[in-house]
A and B are shown apart, each in its own frame.
Chain A
Amino acid sequence: MSRHQLTESGQLKHFLTIEGLKRDLLTDIMDRAEQFSSISGRQVKKVPLLRGKTIMNLFFENSTRTRTTFELAAKRLSADVMNLNINTSATSKGESLLDTLHNLQAMHTDMFVVRHNQSGAAEFIAQHVAPHVSVINAGDGCHAHPTQAMLDMFTIRRHKGHFPDLRVAIVGDILHSRVARSQIQALSTLGVGEIRVIGPKTLLPADSQTLGVHVYHNMAAGLKDVDVIITLRLQFERMQGALIPSAQEYFANYGLTEDKLKFAKPDAIVMHPGPINRGVEIASAVADGPQSVILEQVTHGIAVRMAVMSMTLGSHSEQQEVNA
């Protein structure tokens, strides 16, 4: 749990992890996202909330979708936004990561949106930025991807409403997934009835049950009567570490096909954080099928990120008002 992401009055200062945040706050994020999502349908897709603010998208790891939606979110809030793709090999040591950060901060940045291949990197950066700077975690190693989790919650809420009535199954490489960790925390905080993880033992974390989930290794049992199925991307390098024998075998076992989808409730929705490996973790027929909400997730990403950005940068002005 990060001790850094809330102000003394409980406002969101950074957004680093879902862990430790209260249900009201998560609901607040989703409520604000609802308001922002209407903006995207307007002729003029802009509000002046963050006019004059400078936001740096600091990506130490490749990303298209996440970076783009963060950029769009910032622009729709009228902020100035810069994209920086930084080769991690050039900053493999801690001091140069800090040097990079301090240099960019010296350009009067108000917010860093950070993606990094190391777990804990966003937390580390948040500990070292100046007090007026906010940090949003856009994915750190295998640890957390809180805006992705919130856009998933937003999507679930739109389709399913009341969280306590739901059974949610997350399928695939939980061990290496920052998305899954943040989703599990968000689902628990929102009081979801049952969270399941499904995958081979090689792709599940040690002591998985301590994360507050029921563990299944079999799709038929794990998907039975669930309302939401979240499939995770399988990184191709996993075959190298002897975690699974082949993509074909993985698909046969854990790939979400139309047949396997029938184990779930008839109105179950299918989600995926993207990018999709068709024929590996999900069949095209399912990804493009009527139960899929995958593209909606992408759309919702913009509104949710607008909500989080406006809340974190807003916390400073509230703080200043308190101090004034």
Chain B
Amino acid sequence: MKLSIINGHLIDPSNQINAKQNLYIDQGRIVSIGRQPEGFTSDHSINASNLVICPGLIDLSARLRERGQHNTASIASETKAAIKGGITTLCIAPDHDPIIDSPATVDLIEGQVTRAGQANVHTIGALTQGLQGELLSEMLALKQAGCLGLSNGPKTIKNTLILRRAMEYAATLDLTLFIKASDPWLQAQGCIHEGVVSSRLGLGGIPEAAETIAIARDLSLIEQTGVNAHFHSISSGKTINMIKDAQNRGLPITADVSPYHLHLTEHDIGNYDSQSHVIPPLRSTRDREQLQQAVKDGIITVISSHHRPLDNDAKLGPFAETEPGISGLESLLSLTLKLAQGEELPLQQAIACLTQNPAQVLGIDAGHLSLGAKADICIIDPKADSECQPENFISAGKNSPFDGWHFDYDVAYTLLNGQIAYQKG
């Protein structure tokens, strides 16, 4: 199938293109940018005038299927949701059901992904067996099976000696570590940021030190072992300087932030709104400002959905008893580009946080629209004037605090392998 996308504004951060350009696609690959190749007759043409064309989004961390009664999501439902969100590649965190700690599980997931036929899916393997933080997983086997990195999911490895060994072994195999940093002791009794709102509502607080202490510990071991590491879901402003200093010292580290930490604060919990119950917790207004600034400054280079689809019952109860998490695949693009509206964050840089930069973290050939590249493409309507309606999410999880939010930017088309996989109705 030959496809042309004409009259659109192409933004491809990898190739530093930010201009009106036509794209020509044949057999799932980009065959020309700008001029129509000789003898090319398109079977289908998308008129993208007034639309923005960018690489398909890459999401570094999503949960697609977890253990527990509150999870009706499946790889099929969630990859379809991803496509609607303009995401063509995503990574499954290892706290999957079953836990991704053996090549057999990787194979199983790959089979399900192929049958679903939606987005490209990469697996992040478990750093320790069963994520128990005790025995190393068979990292070589996981790497050979296709895992792009390793992580202990939401479970912090308490024993620093085991963490050090795990980092050394991962470094030996040149595997990147994905870390959600939190001190388990300081986090244990909390469900929201320790501060004004926790004091008012009488809810257990998680101090920012839960993040800074864990990051400080991990940075020391990263420096010692030389492992490549990526920090997931930074929530506190204080952490940013620690990451910046480490980057300046030449440590091989990157970091991401969720769209909800960039838009919401502890105050959005209001009067026990369980939709805003997330871990790490939404922090202060100052933290949110510092996170936005860190994205602008290029200290945090990736914005990831940290998608966690939950059924309605999971959010129904007294706040501390509800499950934390937000269904985020279908609002990742709109929320990220909302930050570019004030023009403090250039649109091209915002798009890089969703495409080029996560591809670099994963070390994969994706997230760009070079000649010959796979035609995984997101076409954006910058004047969509749409409203966030979680009840209409394709994802099995309708859990979102962004109900009713107004979005200018929204996905108009998603192309996977040069085929139109989603078109906004």
Contacts and interface: CB of A to CB of B under 8 A. Distances in A.
B202 A143 contact: yes
B344 interface: no
A207 B199 contact: yes
Nearest to A121: B318
A120 to B, nearest CB: 4
Interface string A116-135: 10111101100000000000
Nearest to A205: B199
Interface string A276-304: 00000000000000000000000000000
Interface in A143-158: 143-144
Contacts of A26: none
B133 to A, nearest CB: 23
A210 B199 contact: yes
Interface stretch (B252-260, B319-327, B396-404): B319-327
B316 A94 contact: yes
Contact of A119 (B189, B203, B313): B203
Contacts of B321: 92-94, 118
B207 A94 contact: no
Given A144-B202, A207-B199, A119 B318 contact: yes
A2 B271 contact: yes
Q: Is the interface of B mostly helix, strand, loop or mixed?
A: loop
A142 B202 contact: yes
Contacts of A19: 200
A1 B195 CA distance: 17
A141 interface: yes
Nearest to B284: A207
Given A123-B271, A210-B196, A97 B317 contact: yes
Contacts of B316: 94-95, 98
A208 interface: yes
A206 interface: yes
A115 interface: no
Interface residues of A, number: 31
A98 B274 CA distance: 15
A154 B345 CA distance: 56
B225 interface: no
B201 interface: yes
A120 B319 CA distance: 6
A124 B313 contact: no
Contacts of B320: 118-120, 141
A2 B202 CA distance: 14
Interface in B162-213: 189, 194-196, 198-203, 205, 207
A207 B286 CA distance: 15
A142 B271 contact: no
Nearest to B316: A94
A196 interface: no
Interface pairs A-B: 8 shortest CB-CB? A94-B317, A142-B202, A118-B318, A143-B202, A205-B199, A120-B272, A121-B318, A119-B202
Interface of B: 189, 194-196, 198-203, 205, 207, 271-272, 313, 316-322
Given A119-B201, A181-B200, 15 more contacts: A93-B321, A98-B316, A116-B318, A119-B272, A119-B320, A120-B320, A140-B318, A141-B203, A142-B202, A143-B201, A144-B202, A205-B199, A207-B196, A208-B199, A211-B199
